[in-house]
Each structure stands twice: as C-alpha cells, then as structure tokens.
Amino acid sequence: MLKNKRSRACDIPQSVKKAVWERDHHHCVLCGNPYAMPNAHYISRFDGGLGVEKNIVTLCFECHRQYDQTTQRKVIKGELESYLKRCYEGWSEEELIYKQ
C-alpha cells in the first residue's frame, strides 16, 4: 500500500530513532527506565507531528501510555517541551508540524 506524503513525513526513520536513542542516553527521558524506545512524538502523528529528531523522545511503555492516554498529557507535554528546549537551541513547536 502506498503511503501519502503526510504519513511518510510523520513516520520515524531508523536514523532518527538511532540519533534520539543516543541523545536521550538510552533511557526514558521522564523516569529514567532503560526499557524504553525512541518512538514517542512530542506533537502527535494525528496532529501532523513530523518524524524528526526535535519531535521524538525516548519513553518507556508506562510514560508513553500516560502521555497518550491520560489527563496528565498537558503536564507531561510541558516536561517534554522543557527537555527538548534544553537539547536544541531555538527549538520551536512550529517547525515540528507537517505543512503541505
């Protein structure tokens, strides 16, 4: 099946996963759990979040679940925003969203 441009832009390439894994020192950026994966979008795929380093973080299963499926999303998003701003000078949400 062919993917549309937006879907491809929101996918996380293996090279991005590897770079994020290194940046995040091989653990969940929220709780420190080493059983984590670099596959969480700061701006969700649903909202057009790109599969780029500045939009991806390493989260363990539980932190990822809390971010995606609980009322804690706003609080967790604030923590992730602070983390990404420390990692990238001039980081901005605007550059993380798919635009046609």
> Which CATH number fits the domain that encloses residue 80?
1.10.30
DSSP 2: P
* Residue 95 falls inside a structural domain: no
* Residue 48 falls inside a structural domain: yes
Please tell me whether residue 90 adopts helix, strand or coil conformation.
coil
Q: What residues have CB less than 8 Å from 21, skipping those under 6 apart? A: 38, 58
* Residue 94 falls inside a structural domain: no
* Residue 100 falls inside a structural domain: no
Show the domain range for 17: 5-89
Q: Give the tens place of pLDDT for each residue, 1-30.
A: 546 787 787 799 999 999 999 999 999 999
* Residue 83 falls inside a structural domain: yes
Report the predicted TM-score, pTM, of the whole model to 2 decimal places: 0.91
